[in-house]
Homo-oligomer: A and B are copies of this chain.
Amino acid sequence: MRPVQIGIIGAGRIGRLHAENLVRTAGVNVRAVSDLYPDAAREWASSIGIPKVLSDYREVVADPELEAVLICSPTDTHVDVITAAARAGKAIFCEKPVSFDFNRTKQAIAAAEQAGVPLQIGFNRRFDPNFRRVKEWVEAGKIGKVHSVKITSRDPSPPSPEYVRSSGGMFVDMTIHDFDMARYLSGSEITEVYAAGGVLIDPAIGEMGDIDTAMISLKFANGAFGMIDNSRKASYGYDQRVEVFGMDGCITADNDYPSNAQLFDDKGVHREKPKYFFLERYSASYVQEMREFMAAVRGGGTVPVSGYDGLQAELAAYAARLSLKEGRPVKLQEISAMEGELAG
């Protein structure tokens, strides 16, 4: 079987992560990578055997040998790259969020649909072994009808001011994963969001108009309720837990740890902190995410996370932003009906 030929757009942290996972995968050939700073990427690309390093994503998109592209460039480029790649008939994997303007996100989804190419969005947490098992058990009916979903999602340390400035804000950058997880685990659409939040950790984040702490209440179309608990700083490491409660039971998933060794001494019982951050915690999820994208590329089949999924999470993020601003619950319908730029 001929290997799938892949091009990667953007050689930053996440682009390199995907590339390194793909070069170790049988049946895949990473043929080209593009980056605005190609010289900085050349040594790395060579060390893992990627032959071509380009400076313009259009060269990647134009390569007739490539069947699929991974879009790992900055968020504000996503829609243009998706559109170009779709027109070129490439299967597309795009990191989240698709854009900072859900109307443009809709355009990108439409472009992929018109071209008939697969478009997968990078909600990697769906592929985490713990959360996937939760989902399987929910779908197998082990807890009956879902009544609530709770998500704890705390980063180990706040991002730099530079990052915050270009991130789109905490809801769009960080909580978007949790909105997707809430939809994934509940098996239902978020219909309403009430976001309480503030700046409890780093005043510099507040000065840029963002928050670092939030408690978000959700309503789902199937009548269930949800809660997302976010913080930009958990001193004990990356805190990523979920709980789904239903008519017949409850399913939880806990953090992962570097080891399960426990120390009993005269002070008490001790173990290590959870795995530090997403690179450690979600390493297996990134591998599996690519595996399933490759399967979709080969099979011509459905992607596990669609453009629609990307859009719904964005709508929830915008609803959260408006809710926080106005101090009231906001329906996703209200957001979805809006025209024009929201992200300013």
A196–B194 alpha-carbon span in the complex (Å): 9
The one of B142, B148, B328 that contacts A263, using a Cβ cutoff of 8 Å: B142
Asked whether, in the complex, the Cβ of A264 is within 8 Å of the Cβ of B250, the reply is yes
Indicate if A231 sits at the interface (CB-CB under 8 A). Answer: yes
Interface string of A235-272 (1 = CB under 8 A from B): 11001000001011111111110111111111111111
Task: Output the least CB separation between A290 and chain B (Å).
Answer: 14
A217–B218 alpha-carbon span in the complex (Å): 10
Task: Output the least CB separation between A223 and chain B (Å).
Answer: 6
Asked whether, in the complex, the Cβ of B248 is within 8 Å of the Cβ of A265, the reply is yes
Interface string of A189-208 (1 = CB under 8 A from B): 00010101110110000000
Asked whether, in the complex, the Cβ of B273 is within 8 Å of the Cβ of A268, the reply is yes
How many copies of this chain are found per oligomer? Answer: 4
A88–B149 alpha-carbon span in the complex (Å): 51
The one of B137, B236, B259 that contacts A130, using a Cβ cutoff of 8 Å: B259
Task: Output the least CB separation between A326 and chain B (Å).
Answer: 11
Asked whether, in the complex, the Cβ of A253 is within 8 Å of the Cβ of B261, the reply is yes
The one of B217, B218, B227, B268 that contacts A271, using a Cβ cutoff of 8 Å: B268
Asked whether, in the complex, the Cβ of B234 is within 8 Å of the Cβ of A219, the reply is no
A327–B270 alpha-carbon span in the complex (Å): 38
A267–B143 alpha-carbon span in the complex (Å): 12
Indicate if A129 sits at the interface (CB-CB under 8 A). Answer: yes
Indicate if A225 sits at the interface (CB-CB under 8 A). Answer: yes
The one of B137, B142, B223, B245 that contacts A231, using a Cβ cutoff of 8 Å: B245
A293–B264 alpha-carbon span in the complex (Å): 33
Indicate if A150 sits at the interface (CB-CB under 8 A). Answer: yes
Asked whether, in the complex, the Cβ of A248 is within 8 Å of the Cβ of B235, the reply is yes
A198–B259 alpha-carbon span in the complex (Å): 33
Indicate if A279 sits at the interface (CB-CB under 8 A). Answer: no
Indicate if A215 sits at the interface (CB-CB under 8 A). Answer: yes
A227–B195 alpha-carbon span in the complex (Å): 12
Interface centre among A150, A214, A245, A254, by most B CB within 10 Å?
A: A245
CB neighbours (8 Å) of A104 from chain B are none
The verdict on A266 contacting B251 (CB below 8 Å), with A194-B217, A329-B328 known, is no
A200–B145 alpha-carbon span in the complex (Å): 9
A26–B197 alpha-carbon span in the complex (Å): 45
CB neighbours (8 Å) of A218 from chain B are 215
Asked whether, in the complex, the Cβ of B130 is within 8 Å of the Cβ of A213, the reply is no
A198–B253 alpha-carbon span in the complex (Å): 26
Indicate if A24 sits at the interface (CB-CB under 8 A). Answer: yes
Interface string of A75-111 (1 = CB under 8 A from B): 0000000000000000000000000000000000000
